[in-house]
Amino acid sequence: MKERIHSKFVSLYGEGGVFYASAGRINLIGEHTDYNGGYVFPGAIDKGIIAEIKLNGTDKVRLYSLDYDASAIFGLEEEDKPAEQWARYIFGVCRETIKRGGQVAGFDAVFAGDVPLGAGLSSSAALESCFAYALNDLNHNGIDLFELARIGQSTEHNYCGVMCGIMDQFASCFGKKGQLIRLNCKTLEHQYFPFNPEGYKLVLLDTCVKHELASSAYNFRRQSCERAAAAIKENHPEVDFLSDCKRVWLDEVRDKISEEDFIRAEYVIGEVQRVLDVCDALERGDYETVGEMMYQTHFGLSRLYEVSCPELDFLAKLARKMEVTGSRVMGGGFGGCTINLVKDSLYDSFIAAAKEQYKAQFGIDLKVYDVVISDGARKLA
């Protein structure tokens, strides 16, 4: 990928570029908890974005996306927002850097990626953190990694219309090879956990569907949670997020909030606890408990939070039937991947059955990704 990027870069902009990279992410457990101030448990993966970049001495940005085979040019003022959707992620990163007092000089860039799009692996966070990291370095801004992650998140909020939490950008900025990150999304305190489940594989099954309205439904889920937290706060002023709430506090407001908001909040409160339980189980090497929690999360995301879809439910159910250790929808939902913790001995038969039965049921070829937990945003040699 680096060679292809470089030859395009040289033909468009000449020599002198510097390479930067960043990564997509998986999340073992802790879904839709980030914007509720709860815990998540992600890691960066060996699929990401690579960009070659150099400052061009102008006040314009010139981009070339190898994957879209398309270019874009824009200025750095708020009114210069580009028409191309893909270029808005980078425009947003420039603007959010400037809003934080950083310098952004005009630059030229060619980039490409291998994070499957729409699969719930955060290709957009990979793009944001790659450029946030690169622009910080090239312009000597000295912005710390926490703020670089927030630059990516604010880009989603202010330029892409998704009111996401901090998980994806954090994982993409802070990812380390072989380590998952338990992140408290309220305080950004985090702890690395070595993840090398001997005798098991972590595999993603991509439904290859992305149902419409995913981002508007995402924003609605967030609003439900905020309404529930606000109602609880009337009784318990210390509550800022659903993650601050005890389960019984939710019961106290059952009559004050809609049934829908209630079940959304019920899921979130349970999920925050599951992350802690999974971390404890991991420290004991108890993968059976880890897997069981994954199934519980799937149930919650499907029945209470209602962000699953028939394709994802089908795969999680098949996993259960075949006695796979753990399986659940991963990421925002409405399509994308299930994440599966599978015993080595079961791996081949599970993958073969999943491919065959998924094709028979939906007429779609399932995609399978083995993931390796890897480094996040960085400069390449």
| Residues assigned a catalytic role | 168
For residue 88, what are the contacts with CB-CB under 8 A and spacing of at least 6? 81, 82, 159, 160
**Residue number, 168 or 261, with CB nearest to ligand GLA:** 168
Q: How many CB atoms lie within 10 A of CB 157?
A: 14
Q: Residues in contact with ligand GLA, total (CB under 6 A)?
A: 11
Measured CA to CA, the distance from residue 363 to residue 365 in angstroms comes to 7
Provide the minimum distance between the beta carbon of 128 and ligand GLA in the complex, in angstroms, as a whole number: 11
Pairing, β 42-55 against β 107-113 = antiparallel
Q: Is 165 in the site for ligand GLA (CB under 6 A)?
A: yes
Q: Is 24 in the site for ligand GLA (CB under 6 A)?
A: no
Comparing C-alpha atoms, which of 149, 250, 188, 252 is closest to residue 39?
188
Q: Is 342 in the site for ligand GLA (CB under 6 A)?
A: no
Q: Is 332 in the site for ligand GLA (CB under 6 A)?
A: yes
Q: Is 32 in the site for ligand GLA (CB under 6 A)?
A: yes
Q: Is 43 in the site for ligand GLA (CB under 6 A)?
A: no
Among 17, 31, 47, 262, binds ligand GLA (CB under 6 A): 31
Q: Is 214 in the site for ligand GLA (CB under 6 A)?
A: no
Pairing, β 200-210 against β 190-194 = unpaired
Joined tokens for residue 75? 């200025």
The interface mask with ligand GLA, positions 115-154, x = CB under 6 A, is: -------x--------------------------------
Provide the minimum distance between the beta carbon of 305 and ligand GLA in the complex, in angstroms, as a whole number: 10
With H, G, I as helix, E, B as strand and everything else as coil, classify residue 376.
coil
**Strand partners for 191:** 182
Question: What values do phi and psi take at 325, rounded to 5?
Answer: -60, -45
**Residue number, 95 or 328, with CB nearest to ligand GLA:** 328
Q: Is 34 in the site for ligand GLA (CB under 6 A)?
A: yes
Q: Is 221 in the site for ligand GLA (CB under 6 A)?
A: no
Of the ranges 32-40, 260-268, 275-283, 292-300, which one interacts with ligand GLA (CB under 6 A)? Answer: 32-40
- Give the CA count within 13 Å in the CB-facing half-sphere of 19: 14
Joined tokens for residue 304? 């209470």
Joined tokens for residue 178? 């072989």
Provide the minimum distance between the beta carbon of 167 and ligand GLA in the complex, in angstroms, as a whole number: 5
Of the ranges 96-104, 161-169, 172-180, 248-256, which one interacts with ligand GLA (CB under 6 A)? Answer: 161-169
Measured CA to CA, the distance from residue 278 to residue 289 in angstroms comes to 7
Question: What values do phi and psi take at 164, rounded to 5?
Answer: -70, 165
**Residue number, 31 or 96, with CB nearest to ligand GLA:** 31
Among 113, 116, 331, 335, binds ligand GLA (CB under 6 A): 331
Provide the minimum distance between the beta carbon of 112 and ligand GLA in the complex, in angstroms, as a whole number: 22
Asked if residues 5 and 48 have their Cβ atoms less than 8 Å apart, the reply is no
Measured CA to CA, the distance from residue 309 to residue 329 in angstroms comes to 9
Residues in the chain: 381
Of the ranges 160-168, 195-203, 235-243, 259-267, which one interacts with ligand GLA (CB under 6 A)? Answer: 160-168
**Residue numbers at the binding site for ligand GLA (CB under 6 A):** 31-32, 34-35, 122, 164-165, 167-168, 331-332
